[in-house]
Homo-oligomer: A and B are copies of this chain.
Amino acid sequence: MDTFGRNYRVSVFGESHGGAIGVVVDGVPAGIVLSEQDFMTDIDRRRSGAKGTTPRREPDVPEVLSGIYEGHTTGAPLAVIFRNRNTRSRDYSLFREVPRPGHADFVAGVKWHGFNDPRGGGHFSGRLTLPLVAAGTVAKKILSLLAGSFEVKAELLEIGGISSDVPDVREKWDRLLDETAEDGDSLGGIVGCTVDGLPVGLGEPFFCSVESLISQAVFSIPGVRGIEFGDGFNAARMKGSQHNDVFVSRDGKCATNGAGGINGGITNGNPIAFRVAFKPTSSISRVQNTLDFRKGELAGLEVPGRHDVCFALRTPVVVEAAASIALADLALSSMSSGYIQTAVI
């Protein structure tokens, strides 16, 4: 199922080389100032063009089909589509029988009995993160209205093992990207995300904890291999006396933030902090071994087409979107479980 959320409901659809991809968001409160232009800042951050990204260029112009009237959201579902323009009518049928390593060619064929749209990865393409980003833009607007000081910020912490902390990191990353491209290979990376300004109390116990919903949304991004909050995997090597965060002020602020802003699945007033690991791009130019399912034997496969050397470069805004969608859902849900003695409907 391609639907997420209880009160902020996001349904993503589309295939990489089909007519259009898009998103329907049900549950957008009425009266939010919103125009097609508002989507462009985030869309531009996701766009290819920089070193290490694919040469495929798409205009990525959002077309709002419903849910906006006279510059405001109407309360009815918001539908936004993006036409696929720069598609190439190459023959993808080979990959049905000789699947690309690391891609969904094989599993999609089995799952959907060979009827999956194979072109450009079909529904499993990273292109589908575009409607996710659009839904994220609206989620951020909602969170900003509900919590005035809300701010979400994701950025690359690592490419190919080189941390953003080292001096001259831009040059080092560029050189690595160039070398890897020349090798016909690809790189992974790590994205860090911080969410500031949310009140104490968002999140639900158990299956709708802040971590549960953020991770559910983040793992919908193709190529994610791991997520960790606060001290993350390091926490497993700490003592309780080291890891516990000491409250220092009545708004819940702590001296440290090893919990990543979350206790018991609920925001505690400190910044939500998490890191996401992205694998290296699966499509590489060099010849790779894979199984030729027709013959039942290994074969050398050259994957043609236009690839990102490191698609992680384009993901910070996607991670922001995933987190914002999860948090907008929790924020709207929180309103429905508000202090009933003072609630109004």
Q: Which one, A44-52, A53-61, A331-339, is touching chain B?
A: A331-339
A248 at interface by CB-CB < 8 Å: yes
Q: Tell me if A3 counts as interface (CB < 8 A to partner B).
A: yes
A227 contacts chain B at the CB level, 8 A cutoff: yes
Q: Which of B116, B247, B280, B291 contacts A30 (CB 8 A)?
A: B116
- Interface residue total, chain A, C-beta cutoff 8 A: 164
Task: Return the chain B residue nearest A334 by Cβ.
Answer: B345
Contacts A19-B63, A233-B233 known; A246 to B288 CB distance under 8 Å?
A: yes
Which residues from chain B contact A11 at a C-beta distance below 8 Å?
Answer: 3, 9, 11, 24, 26, 77
Note all chain B residues with C-beta closer than 8 A to A243.
102, 188, 279-280
Most interface-central of A206, A243, A248 (chain B CB within 10 A): A206
Q: How many copies of the shown chain assemble into the complex?
A: 4
Q: A3-B26, A18-B69, A112-B74 are in contact. Are A107 and B280 (CB under 8 A)?
A: no
Q: How far is the CB of A256 from chain B (nearest CB, A)?
A: 10
Interface: A166 (CB within 8 A) = no
Interchain CB contact under 8 A, B65 and A18: yes
Given contacts A116-B30, A233-B225, contact A252 B219 (CB under 8 A): no
B79, B116, B235, B278: the one within 8 Å of A279 (CB): B235
Q: A132 to B13: give the CA distance in the assembly, Å.
A: 18
A230 sits at the interface (CB 8 A): yes
Using CB atoms, name the residue of chain B closest to A284.
Answer: B240
Complex Cα distance A129/B112, Å? 30
Given the interface pairs A107-B264, A246-B101, the reply to whether A2 lies near B312 with Cβ below 8 Å is no
Distance from A206 Cβ to chain B, minimum over Cβ atoms (Å): 4
Contacting pair B338 A29 (CB below 8 A): yes
A241 touches B185 (CB 8 A): yes
A173 to chain B, nearest CB (A): 13
Partner of A264, one of B26, B222, B241: B222
Is the Cβ of B185 less than 8 Å from the Cβ of A239?
yes
Closest chain B CB from A287 CB (angstroms): 10
B340 & A241 in contact (Cβ 8 Å cutoff): no
Check: A122 CB closer than 8 A to any chain B CB: yes
Quote the shortest CB–CB distance from A91 to chain B (angstroms). Answer: 13
Q: A75-B116, A215-B215, A279-B231 are in contact. Are A66 and B336 (CB under 8 A)?
A: no
Instruction: Name the distance in Å between A136's Cβ and chain B's nearest Cβ.
Output: 14
A residues 73-90 near B (Cβ < 8 Å) are 73-79, 81
- With a cutoff of 8 Å between Cβ atoms, the chain B residues found around residue A260 in the complex are 225
Q: Closest 6 interchain pairs by CB?
A: A104-B264, A226-B228, A75-B112, A186-B240, A76-B123, A30-B112
